[in-house]
Amino acid sequence: MNIYNEEEILKQLRSANPDLQRKAFEQIVLFYSEKIYRQIRRMVYSHDDANDLTQNTFLKAWLNVPLFRGEAKMSTWLYKIALNESITFLNKQHAHNSISLDDKDVFIIDKLESDEYFDGDDTQLKLQKAIATLPEKQKVVFNLRYYDEMPYDEMSKILDTSAGALKASYHHAAKKIEEFLNRY
């Protein structure tokens, strides 16, 4: 099994050799595709949508390889693209279906209940419903911290927000979720 050496891979990615660039990017896809997919899936819920958005994320990253200067970590760059893709998609979806923010959670839960790839029990479903009531950015912060256990410093680079503000945002989110779980 290949060991993922980001420094070496980034060097190859910035080379002028197209074959080397493609091979390096393949390593990146292999290493990050599942992480990116899971992050997107927790945002958009549907497997098919998450699949399309993951493909788009890597396609955008590939097309922007000449602009990637390696100042940020590859994971930070990919997460940023993935979050932008997800938020753009959700905004379009909400506008298209004329869903008000109040009805958003009902819409999400309907979607989850009918999703053959949702493997949660009632508590998990309730938790997802609670997460769905959060504002988009708070939802991202909560998911990254709760499921991925991402350090606030790393999250700060992805979301361009201070670590302190993210910590506060996570605690607000957790409090809202617990209130929701106890109310319903």
List interacting residues with other proteins (CB under 8 A). 16, 18, 21-22, 25-26, 29-30, 33-34, 37-38, 41-42, 45, 47, 51, 54-55, 58-59, 62-63, 65-66, 117-120, 123-125, 127-128, 146-147, 174, 177-178, 181-182
Q: In terms of CB distance, is 128 or 138 closer to other proteins?
A: 128
CB of 112 to other proteins, least distance (A): 9
CB within 8 Å of 109: residues ≥ 6 apart: 125, 128, 129, 132
CB 100 to other proteins: min, Å = 25
Cα 143 from Cα 35, distance rounded (Å): 12
Closest by Cα among 18, 147, 14 to 170 = 147
- Minimum CB separation of residue 160 from other proteins in Å reads 26
Whose Cβ is closer to other proteins: residue 14's or residue 157's? 14
Alpha-carbon gap, residue 149 to 143, rounded angstroms: 8
Smaller CB distance to other proteins: residue 54 or 86?
54
Q: How far is the CB of 25 from other proteins (least distance, A)?
A: 7
Side-chain-side CA neighbours of 114 within 13 Å: the count stands at: 5
Q: CA 85 to CA 56: how far, in whole Å? A: 8
Tokens representing 2 are 């290949």
| CB nearer other proteins, residue 10 or residue 157 | 10
